[in-house]
Amino acid sequence: MEIGIEHCANTDSAVQKLTRQRFEAVIVDCTTPHIASTMLKGARSSPVNKRAIVVSVLEAQTGGESQGALKDAFALGAHFVLFKPISLERTRASFRAVKALMKRERRRHARIPIELPVELKFDGHGTVEATTTDLGENGMAVRLRDRKPQSSFELGFTLPGTFTRIECRGEVAWEGNRILGIRFGDLAPEPAQELKQWIARQLMGSDADEPAVGCKLTDLSLGACYLQTESPFPVRTRLQLMMKVHSLGLQIEGIVRLMHPGTGMGVEFTRHTAAQKARVEEFIQTLVHSSGAVPDLEVRPDSIDNSSGAYSSWQISGERGDPLLSLFRNKTDLPADLFHTELRKQRGAQVEVGA
């Protein structure tokens, strides 16, 4: 999978690397609990590795012990868990999701050196022309000829080689030597996706179109879906989902609310607008009236959201009367087999697809 490995045989060398060297993923063998705890906490608290993907390798256990070990690992900061004896196929499946998140995180913070014209529009003070020195998904650096702008303004530019116009709010993030670092704000979903894809093409060429992680849609409601997959993403991973049945397509954003290693994940839709609900309802009705139809599905990760809002919104959000969201919320701690039993029980209130 083209992932290079640096092996640490003892705690001291591992801690030293975690504090001094950046890694995209950290794998911790949890055979010795106090050493594993030190490593997992160290990875989570290390300034250079706090965004690294963390994988725990646990001893084989049964029943409630296995569920308890999973909870402990996730509580200490693990994103993925593997059980011994290590299964090659299960490990490959898990690392498809690990690799997708690593590559996504790499692109999120990348900057493409490029010069292109940008318009900065200030409230009541007209428009200033500037030139970029680099461009990324979340912002840009620009060179100004004369005056320093206000702290917040509107900006606009066209992506090179396309007709896509990017317009959004801009905020000054840093400044120095006549160069301003600008952070994007209020960028609409469609142009944001175009910008992501443009950045990916510049960084990775044909590899930018790497196939999405394979998933199967089994359950769908107005506010959520359950996806069967050997490569589920961690809880709080923000996803881009594209579903299609016949000629009807549905593009939607979601966040993983529960994850069953090697089995599947429950995803809450993050935009609760009337327009989105209408599109989801149309998609559901098309499935209901299409006997035997199995929708095509593409699932791509955006980022793992560790903000406080990702936690608090889950505590207060959710549509009343949505049986799938209620199941996600109330049965989060069930083992995968018992959760799927509950899922089958309540499918009369929602749509079962291809299960």
What would the pLDDT profile of 173-194 be if each residue is shown by its tens digit? Answer: 888 878 889 999 988 888 988 8
For position 339, what pLDDT does the model report?
93
Residue 325 and residue 331: Cα distance in Å, rounded? 10
Q: CA 260 to CA 69: how far, in whole Å?
A: 13
Q: Which residues of the chain have pLDDT under 50?
A: 206, 316, 349, 351, 355
pLDDT on residue 206: 44
- From the list 105, 63, 49, the residue with the least C-alpha distance to 234 is 105
Q: 186: burial class by Cβ within 10 Å (0-12, 13-18, 19+)?
A: exposed
The helix/strand/coil state of 114 is coil
CA–CA separation, 127 and 337 (whole Å):
60
286-291 long-range contacts, CB within 8 A, separation 24+: 286/245, 286/246, 286/248, 287/220, 287/245, 287/351, 287/353, 288/351, 290/245, 290/246
Which runs of E-coded beta strand occur in the chain?
Answer: 25-29, 53-58, 80-83, 112-113, 117-122, 126-135, 139-143, 152-158, 165-176, 179-185, 216-220, 224-228, 237-245, 248-260, 264-269, 296-304, 351-352
Q: What is the pTM of this model?
A: 0.74
Q: What is the pLDDT of residues 138-152, one digit of tens each?
A: 899 998 776 666 778
Which domains does the chain show, CATH number per domain?
Answer: 11-86 (3.40.50.2300), 112-204 (2.40.10.220), 216-352 (2.40.10)
Residues 211/296, Cβ–Cβ less than 8 Å: no
Report the chain's mean pLDDT, rounded to a whole number: 85
Residue 355: per-residue pLDDT: 45
